[in-house]
Chain A
Amino acid sequence: MLELKNVSYEVNDEAVNKEILKNISFTIDERFVAITGPNGGGKSTLAKLIAGIITPTEGRIFLDGKDITDMSITERAKNGISFAFQQPVRFKGITVKDLITFAVGHQISTQEACSYLSEVGLCAKDYINRELNASLSGGEAKRIEIAMTMARGTALSIFDEPEAGIDLWSFQSLIKVFEMMHKKAGGSIIIISHQERILNIADKVIVLANGELVNIGKKEDVLPGLLVDAPGCSVLTEKMKEACNG
C-alpha cells in the first residue's frame, strides 16, 4: 500500500517559489490506479516523488506503512518500487539484455530475457543483443522500458504514459501486460494516462490539475465529470465552442 500524506513540491524558479504539487494526500491499495488530468498538472512530478527521483518539500510518503520519504532511488527500488519513464533513456553500449538483467537483479538466461520481450510484442532475437541506443525508434524503446518494469516484478509499478508512442501494438496488449504483472506480483500498478481505454480499466482514478488533487474515486464516479470540470484555457474553450457552432 502506498500512502501520501500532505505532500507538496516547490521549485525555486528565478527566485520565485513555484508550487508544482500542493498538499496531496491519498492511499493506493487497488490493483490499477490511473492518474490523469491536464498537461502540466503535476502527474509526472508525482511519479518522480514516489520513485525518489525528487523529494517532497513537505509531507511524507509511506510504502506498506514504512516511511520512505528519505530513501534514495536505489533503496526505494529495492523496497519494491518500479518506474517506467515517459521518455525512455538511451545508453551507449548497454544492451537490452543487460538492462533486463539489471531489472531482474541476477543473471538470467537469454530465454528468460526473451520471454519479457515477447510479452511486449517484440521479437526477442532481433532485440536482445541490441544496444538501447538512439538507433531504436521511440516505440521500440518504450516497449523495452515496459518489459524492464515487468521484469522487476515489484509490488508497486508506476507507468508514466505507457501508451505514448506505441504504434502497432494495441492497447489491449498493454492492458494484458498490466493484468499479467498483477497476477504475478500482486500489489498496485499506477498508470499516468490520458487515454480513456486505460482509464476504463482503473479501479481508482486520481485527477490532478494545477498541482492539486481535484478528484479521487472509482472510475464510475470520477470519469463522467472529467471533461466537464477540467480547468482549461478560456480562450481555447471559446475557440472550440466557436468551431463547434460554426
Chain B
Amino acid sequence: MDKITKELLEQVADLHEIPVGAYNIRKDGELYGRNVSANIDIVTKKDKPGIDIIIKDNTVKESVHIPVIISQSGLKEAVYNDFYIGENCDVTIIAGCGIHNGGKEGSEHSGIHAFDVGKNSKVKYVEKHYGQGEGTGERIMNPTTKILLREGSYMEMDTVQIEGIDSTKRDTSAKVMDNAKLVIKEKIMTHDKQYAETNFSVDLEGENSSADLVSRSVAKNESYQVFNSEINGNGVCHGHSECDAIIMDNACVKALPALTANNVDASLIHEAAIGKIAGEQLIKLMTLGLSEEEAEKEIVAGFLK
C-alpha cells in the first residue's frame, strides 16, 4: 500500500491496515481489495459502477468497510452502492471518500448509497469525506444517501467533512416506517472559497416513527454553506432538526428549515442558530491562559467533536 493510499484510508476510515471482516476498497475507479464474510456478501454491479452489499438476517456485531480513494487528478466517477440489510441485524458500515489531488484538473466522486434496512435492525453508518493534495484541481464530492427504514429499525448516520473538499452537495432522503427511528449527525467545516450544501428530506410515514437531524458546522474565510432540511410528518411521529453554525471571517451560512405536518399527531420541531463565536467563550478561555487564537481553535474543535 503506497503512502497516499495509506494516509487517505486513515483519514476516511480510521484504517491503519487492511480491515478485519467484510470490506471493499475502491481506488481510482477500480477494485483495490475485497473480502466477504459468512453473513456479508459484496457483489459487483453489472449494469453500472458500484456494488451490492447484502447482509443476512440476524447478523450482529459485524462491520463493513467500503472506503473510496482517488489519487488521480482529473478522475470523475459516480458509484452506486446498494445495501440490503436483513432483519434483526446490528451492524456498522463505514464508508468514506478521500481525494488526493496533485494535479490541475478537478477530481470528483459521487457516491449514491441506498439503504434498505430490514425489520428491527440496527445500523450505524459512518461516512467521512476528506481531501488533500498540493494540486490546484478542485476536489468535489456529491454524496447521495437514500434510506428506507422498515418497521422497528434504527439507523444512525454520522457524516463528517472537516477538510479539503472544495465543493459538496449532500442529498439525504429517508422514509421511516412504523416504530423506526433515524438519527443523523452531520459535521462540516468549510474554509477558503469552499461550498457545501446539505439537503435533508425525511418522510415520517409510520406510527411512532421518529427522526433527529443534527447539523453542526463551521464556515471560515470566504466559504459558503447552505442547509436545507425538510421533515414531513405523515403519521403519529416525532421529528426534530437542528442546524447550529459558527460563522467566521467573511463566510456565509444559509439555513432553510421546513416542517410539514400532514397529521394532527405529528410533532415536529426545528432549531437553527447561526452566529460567530461568543465573545464570552473566548474571554473565559483566555482567563485560563490561552491566547485568542488558541481559544478560537479549541472552541471550534469542541464544537465539531
Chain A residues packing against B (C-beta within 8 Å): 51, 53, 72-74, 77-78, 81-83, 85, 89, 91-95, 98-99, 102-103, 105, 131, 148, 152
Q: A83, A92, A93, A94: which contacts B287 (Cβ < 8 A)?
A: A83
Q: B278, B291, B292, B303: which contacts A93 (Cβ < 8 A)?
A: B303
A-B contact pairs, 5 of them (CB 8 A): A72-B286, A74-B286, A77-B288, A95-B302, A98-B302
Q: Mark B279-291, 1 if CB is under 8 A from A, else 0.
A: 0110111111111
Q: Which residues on A sit within 8 Å (CB–CB) of B284? A: 85, 89
| B302, A91: Cβ atoms closer than 8 Å | yes
Q: Which residues on A sit within 8 Å (CB–CB) of B60? A: none
| A74, B305: Cβ atoms closer than 8 Å | no
Interface residues of B in 262-305 (CB under 8 A from A): 278, 280-281, 283-292, 298-299, 301-305
Q: B244, B289, B298: which contacts A94 (Cβ < 8 A)?
A: B298
Q: B244, B291, B299, B304: which contacts A74 (Cβ < 8 A)?
A: B291
A93 and B304 in contact (CB under 8 A), knowing A72-B286, A99-B288, A105-B289? yes
Q: Which residues on B sit within 8 Å (CB–CB) of A78? A: 289
Q: Which residues on B sit within 8 Å (CB–CB) of A81? A: 287
Tell me the nearest residue of chain A to B287, going by C-beta.
A83
Q: A74, A82, A89, A102: which contacts B292 (Cβ < 8 A)?
A: A74
Q: Which residues on B sit within 8 Å (CB–CB) of A103? A: 288-289
Chain B residues packing against A (C-beta within 8 Å): 216, 244, 278, 280-281, 283-292, 298-299, 301-305
What is the number of contacts between chain A and chain B, taking CB atoms within 8 Å? 57
| A152, B302: Cβ atoms closer than 8 Å | no
CB of B103, distance to nearest CB on chain A (Å): 36
| B303, A53: Cβ atoms closer than 8 Å | no
| A74, B289: Cβ atoms closer than 8 Å | yes
A98 and B298 in contact (CB under 8 A), knowing A74-B291, A92-B303, A93-B305? yes
Q: How far is the CA of A53 from the CA of B283 in the complex (A)?
A: 7
| B244, A77: Cβ atoms closer than 8 Å | no
Q: Which residues on A sit within 8 Å (CB–CB) of B244? A: 92
Q: How far is the CA of A105 from the CA of B285 in the complex (A)?
A: 11
| B280, A89: Cβ atoms closer than 8 Å | yes
A74 and B290 in contact (CB under 8 A), knowing A93-B305, A94-B298, A94-B299? yes
Instruction: Count chain B CB atoms within 10 A of each CB in A73, A82, A83, A102 and give the residue with the most.
Output: A73
> Sorted from nearest, which 7 A-B pairs have the closest CB atoms?
A93-B302, A94-B302, A73-B286, A89-B284, A77-B289, A93-B305, A102-B288
Q: How far is the CA of A105 from the CA of B305 in the complex (A)?
A: 21
CB of A95, distance to nearest CB on chain B (Å): 8
Q: How far is the CA of A83 from the CA of B285 in the complex (A)?
A: 11
Q: Which residues on A sit within 8 Å (CB–CB) of B283? A: 53, 73, 89
A148 and B281 in contact (CB under 8 A), knowing A92-B244, A94-B302, A98-B302? no
| B288, A92: Cβ atoms closer than 8 Å | no
| A91, B299: Cβ atoms closer than 8 Å | yes
Q: How far is the CA of A73 from the CA of B285 in the complex (A)?
A: 10
Q: How far is the CA of A103 from the CA of B290 in the complex (A)?
A: 9
| A91, B281: Cβ atoms closer than 8 Å | yes
| B288, A152: Cβ atoms closer than 8 Å | yes
Tell me the nearest residue of chain A to B289, going by C-beta.
A77
CB of A86, distance to nearest CB on chain B (Å): 11
Tell me the nearest residue of chain B to A131, going by C-beta.
B302
Q: Which residues on A sit within 8 Å (CB–CB) of B303? A: 92-93
8 further contact pairs, Cβ within 8 A, besides A72-B286, A91-B302, A93-B304: A77-B286, A78-B289, A91-B281, A93-B302, A94-B298, A94-B302, A102-B288, A148-B288
Q: How far is the CA of A188 from the CA of B284 in the complex (A)?
A: 21
CB of B240, distance to nearest CB on chain A (Å): 16
Tell me the nearest residue of chain A to B298, going by C-beta.
A94
Q: Which residues on A sit within 8 Å (CB–CB) of B285? A: 102
CB of B180, distance to nearest CB on chain A (Å): 27
Q: Which residues on A sit within 8 Å (CB–CB) of B299? A: 91, 94
Q: How far is the CA of A94 from the CA of B277 in the complex (A)?
A: 13
Tell me the nearest residue of chain A to B244, going by C-beta.
A92
Instruction: Count chain A CB atoms within 10 A of each CB in B281, B284, B286, B299 and give the residue with the most.
Output: B284
Q: B287, B290, B291: which contacts A51 (Cβ < 8 A)?
A: B287
Q: How far is the CA of A24 from the CA of B290 in the complex (A)?
A: 29
Tell me the nearest residue of chain B to A80, going by C-beta.
B289
Q: B286, B290, B291, B302: which contacts A92 (Cβ < 8 A)?
A: B302
Tell me the nearest residue of chain A to B291, going by C-beta.
A74
CB of A66, distance to nearest CB on chain B (Å): 17
Q: How far is the CA of A83 from the CA of B278 in the complex (A)?
A: 18
